[in-house]
Amino acid sequence: MSGSQSDKDHETDMNEHKKKLVIYIVLAAAVLAVYGQVHQFDFVNFDDHAYVVDNISVRAGITFDGLRWAFGTKYYHLWHPLTWLSLMADYELYGLHAGGYHVTNLILHILSTLLLFWLFHRMTGALWKSAFVAAFFALHPLHVESVAWVSERKDVLSAFFWMLTLCCYVVYTEKQSVKRYLLVVFSFVLALLSKPMVVTLPLIMILLDYWPLKRFESEKGNLFSWQLKEKLPLLALSAALIFITFYAPDRTEIKYLPLNTRLANAPIAFVAYLAKTFWPHNMAVFYPFPTYNITAWKILGAVILITTLSVCFIATVKRFPYLFVGWFWFAITVLPVIKIVSVGNDAMADRYHYLPSIGIAIMLAWGVAHFFKNANLKNNFIFSAGIIFTAVMAFLSWSQCGYWQNSFDLSNHALRVTKNNFVAHNNLASALVDKGQYKEAIYHYNKAIRLEPGYADAYYNRGIAYHKLGYYRQAVDNYNQAIQLVPNKSIYYTNRGAAYIMLIMYRKALADYDKSILINQNDGDAFNNRAFIYFNMRNIAAGCADAQKACELGTCDTLIWAKNNGYCYH
């Protein structure tokens, strides 16, 4: 009898392992089916040029100077050195072949999905509910932005280490030891080095301690002391990153919105994320602020809804702990990106739904069952509904992913689904410039500037379009506007200097290149063009020095010309 029971248990374990293996395979295959197309995608002109294409530090690959730069810079407004290093590694592998960067994002997303399934199955033992949580995260349409956008490497990289940290934490709770705790700390540090948004992770651990780990029940006698002992080092790391993020931030190009405007937007954005969770429509790379009229009744309605739901989930915490944990997972993780302490003119972003969505998935996976009394009906309906729901999400994600193949399609789509989108107008115009359609581009730059008169990049980019058309004085006028709005951006001076050269105004061009190099000593174009001016002014020594420096920075045009004409032999 004992042997027969042992055989049955062994058979049950084998079936369980087979089911888990099938789920791992299906999850990975589903993500590949939805996102496999990204290997053919290009870089887009929403940040990808700043992150990779025009980033001289990333394009140098993995070097000691690059390592120092990654840990020392807050370029593009955030401190995430591990993200920079991952992009440098991609450059070593792929050069400027965009498909390789997309594939790396895809691999990280798959790994995060599999770790998430492992995590919840390990904590709860619920096979299909854990699979649903992982599938929800893997296939939700709002997550296309995080996966299909090279610049959002920080999202998929930090999510991978977020999942890894929680997996290490669960293993630590099963058998506590210093070694296992250090693994938790190490993986959390890697997450923090990838994106500041993960600072809330220690709070999520506390939620999981309540459910499903149920550590609060086993540690009743010294609740405060053991939580303080475990979480304080992690919270200290989070506090350190918050300090680094906001201390002397490099945000000279960004206009702050008034605090009262950001506070008014926050509850409405919170509800908008909830709404898009269940009805993911009109998704765009940029949502201009505001995408809706912020009226008092909308603010009040959003606050009442959030408060009511929060009170309900707190009141029923003992009966439905997973609803409490899921809701506050969502609320806590979305809080840092709800735009109260952020800057810029976007009201919300799809990528901010990436980690918070797991909380909603928990609520659905464990909460829907309570609507059914009949066990057979419950099991059959929930399983079928889950399959249909994830299939619909997969189709929507596949469709949304297609818009990310290039800047033109992405910007066009954003303009179709949003109103007054000045950023989309600007970026569509830049895509048109790349196609040589300068007059059409100027039309969209004009629209961007009418919608946002303080948009310096739109003036600068319109100047480039006029420059390419040969309208150099109009180009200078636009560069002047851009410089007046943002006086410390080197590329503005570099391009105005180029327009002055075409107008044979060498003194003014020289002054612009001096200013550009003062701001950015790695501007190869500025050194290259200043060398050209020096040669025209018969200052051969200075011209050769600048031409050599430009060549070291990757721009060798003037040096080649000088050598061909008998200058700069050394």
In a shared domain, residues 171 and 282: yes
Which of these, 152, 210, 450, lies nearest to 329 by C-alpha position?
A: 210
Cis peptide before 321 (omega within 30 of 0): no
Tokens of 265: 């937007």
In a shared domain, residues 300 and 354: yes
Which residue range forms the structural domain that includes residue 110?
2-249+260-404
In a shared domain, residues 133 and 265: yes
Cis peptide before 290 (omega within 30 of 0): yes
In a shared domain, residues 494 and 382: no
User: How many structural domains compose the chain?
Assistant: 2
State residue 557's pLDDT score: 80
In a shared domain, residues 508 and 539: yes
User: Could you tell me if residue 537 is inside a domain?
Assistant: yes
In a shared domain, residues 38 and 84: yes
Say how many Å lie between the first and final Cα of the chain, rounded: 92
Residues 346 and 424: their CA atoms lie apart, in Å, by 12
User: Could you tell me if residue 409 is inside a domain?
Assistant: no
Place of tokens 């600048």: 546
**Domain CATH code at residue 534:** 1.25.40.10
Rounded to the nearest 5°, which phi and psi values hold at 346? -95, 140
In a shared domain, residues 500 and 388: no
In a shared domain, residues 346 and 208: yes
In a shared domain, residues 432 and 502: yes
User: Could you tell me if residue 254 is inside a domain?
Assistant: no
User: Could you tell me if residue 168 is inside a domain?
Assistant: yes
In a shared domain, residues 284 and 148: yes
In a shared domain, residues 389 and 427: no
In a shared domain, residues 440 and 365: no
Q: How would DSSP label each residue in 79-133?
A: --HHHHHHHHHHHHHHTT-HHHHHHHHHHHHHHHHHHHHHHHHHHH--HHHHHHH
Task: Please check whether residue 322 is in contact with residue 212, taking contact to mean a CB–CB distance below 8 angstroms.
Answer: yes
Torsion angle, CA of 123/125/131/134, rounded to 10 degrees? 0
User: Could you tell me if residue 255 is inside a domain?
Assistant: no
Amino acid, single-letter form, for residue 242? I
Residues 179 and 416: their CA atoms lie apart, in Å, by 53
User: Could you tell me if residue 569 is inside a domain?
Assistant: no
- The last residue of one of the domains, among 404, 435, 451, is 404
Along the 570 residues of the chain, how does pLDDT read in single tens digits? 455 555 555 556 668 889 999 999 999 999 999 999 999 999 999 999 999 999 989 999 999 999 999 999 888 888 999 999 999 999 999 999 999 999 999 999 999 999 999 999 999 999 999 999 999 999 999 999 999 999 999 999 999 999 999 999 999 999 999 999 999 999 999 999 999 999 999 999 999 999 999 998 877 667 678 888 899 999 999 999 989 887 744 544 445 577 788 888 899 999 999 999 999 999 999 998 865 567 889 999 999 999 999 999 999 999 999 999 999 999 999 999 988 776 567 889 999 999 999 999 999 999 988 777 766 766 778 888 889 999 999 999 999 999 999 999 999 999 999 999 999 999 999 999 999 999 999 999 999 999 999 999 999 999 999 999 999 999 999 999 999 999 999 999 999 999 999 999 999 999 999 999 999 988 888 998 998 899 888 898 888 898 888 888 888 887 777 777 777 765
